């Protein structure tokens, strides 16, 4: 059986799956047949940009054939696909549970990105329920000037004033 990569919040098989690909805390590369694994700390977790592409390149260089994660952005998906790596999203629970699901053959390959670009950045859109709030997402609002924080008028933390 070929190697798989699972995005992880910790460095053991008992760790929880990290829902982010490009900015996950760890990549756990596993041989599902033997459950032998290698842990790679993700150096791209705080990258200013290109985290998905850079993370995909790390995984491709490890000879991984399938990635299991919660979500994947468009740039990471494209890079993984061009490298011949299958992507399976919607994964949660522990790394062990993800391995078992993969071994059962019950997981379906994802056909495209599941989140917009820049998902998982510090701009406040790393949790789906927070997406769409002012100052989050691509662009992140106005740059901080003259003592105001980003997000434009009334949009970011500290920006604007409450009106009665």
**pLDDT tens-place string over residues 117-160:** 655 555 434 434 323 333 334 444 434 444 444 444 344 444 44
- Which distant-in-sequence residues (6+ apart) come within 8 Å of 117 by Cβ? 52, 73, 74, 75, 138
Across the chain, which has 164 residues, the per-10-residue mean pLDDT values are 93 97 97 95 91 96 97 95 97 97 94 76 42 38 41 42 43
- Distance (Å) of CA 37 to CA 4, 5, 13, 28, 122: 9, 9, 9, 7, 30
Q: Is 104 helix (H, G, I), strand (E, B) or coil?
A: helix
Distance, first Cα to last Cα, the chain: 64
Residue holding tokens 């805390």? 25
Q: Is 31 helix (H, G, I), strand (E, B) or coil?
A: strand
């Amino acid at each position: 059986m070929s190697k798989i990569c699972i995005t992880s919040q910790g460095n053991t098989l008992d760790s929880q799956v990290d829902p982010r690909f490009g900015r996950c805390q760890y990549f756990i590369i596993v041989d599902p047949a033997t459950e032998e694994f290698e842990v790679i700390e993700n150096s791209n977790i705080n990258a200013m940009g290109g985290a998905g592409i850079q993370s995909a390149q790390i995984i491709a260089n490890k000879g991984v054939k399938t990635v299991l994660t919660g979500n994947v952005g468009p740039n990471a998906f494209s890079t993984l696909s061009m490298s011949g790596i299958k992507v399976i999203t919607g994964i949660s629970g522990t790394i062990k549970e993800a391995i078992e699901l993969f071994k059962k053959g019950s997981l379906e390959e994802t056909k495209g990105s599941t989140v917009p670009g820049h998902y998982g950045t510090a701009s406040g859109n790393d949790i789906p329920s927070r997406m769409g709030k002012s100052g989050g997402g691509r662009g992140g609002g106005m740059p901080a000037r003259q003592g105001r924080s980003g997000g434009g008028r009334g949009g970011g933390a500290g920006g604007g004033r409450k009106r009665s």
